[in-house]
Chains A and B, each alone.
Chain A
Amino acid sequence: NAGVTQTPKFRILKIGQSMTLQCTQDMNHNYMYWYRQDPGMGLKLIYYSVGAGITDKGEVPNGYNVSRSTTEDFPLRLELAAPSQTSVYFCASSYSIGTEGSPLHFGNGTRLTVT
């Protein structure tokens, strides 16, 4: 039982490049989330999904896209990387919506630098 697995761990992008951050979970959780973590700030929700085929915007969705074709996978796509997207990205999953005592399970993060 690996939990939530994110790849890659680190990545450096040039401005304007594209990339996909991968996230997979093996706990059969319906709910999945993408957050970004910036120094001195709380986690900001980028996108979330309540099940396969269903995604919705979080607080800071601009510049990102997601898809959820399977229960296990929830990739995050950056189409035209900008320096403002330099951050640490966390994928998480939960059994229920996470606000009813059901904990979020986090991956170990992807550290992205855009130069």
Chain B
Amino acid sequence: GEDVEQSLFLSVREGDSSVINCTYTDSSSTYLYWYKQEPGAGLQLLTYIFSNMDMKQDQRLTVLLNKKDKHLSLRIADTQTGDSAIYFCAENSNYQLIWGAGTKLIIKP
């Protein structure tokens, strides 16, 4: 069945890089997304990648896509305290978005 999997927590030191991983199941997904949820707020689109791309870079964010392994990752360079949030991976499948459970990014000083 459809399932998007992520680790529930990631802890990094301020200034280090954060890498949040996600595996998905639908090989026909055309878009894969990363959303960010700050405390008490709704989700906001962070970035997305089209399935014919391997990598997408946007300032401190780098998205890597390995279609063979159905693996998606989000790298945040120079992690800051403002990056503390829950990060959700989502894939489109049958015209719906299937969501991971979210990875809570914890920043240590």
Contacts and interface: CB of A to CB of B under 8 A. Distances in A.
A4 B11 CA distance: 31
A104 B31 CA distance: 13
Interface string B89-106: 010100111111110000
Chain A contact residues: over half helix, strand or loop, or mixed?
A: loop
B8 interface: yes
Contacts of A42: 4, 88, 90, 98-102
A99 B102 CA distance: 19
A104 B101 contact: no
A99 B42 contact: no
Interface residues of B, number: 25
Contact of B95 (A97, A106, A108): A97
Contacts, number: 56
Contacts of A106: 42-44
B84 to A, nearest CB: 18
A92 interface: yes
Interface of A: 4, 40-45, 58-59, 90, 92, 97-101, 103-104, 106-109
Given A92-B42, A99-B92, 16 more contacts: A41-B101, A42-B4, A42-B90, A42-B98, A43-B43, A43-B88, A44-B99, A45-B96, A45-B97, A58-B96, A97-B95, A100-B30, A103-B45, A104-B45, A106-B43, A108-B40
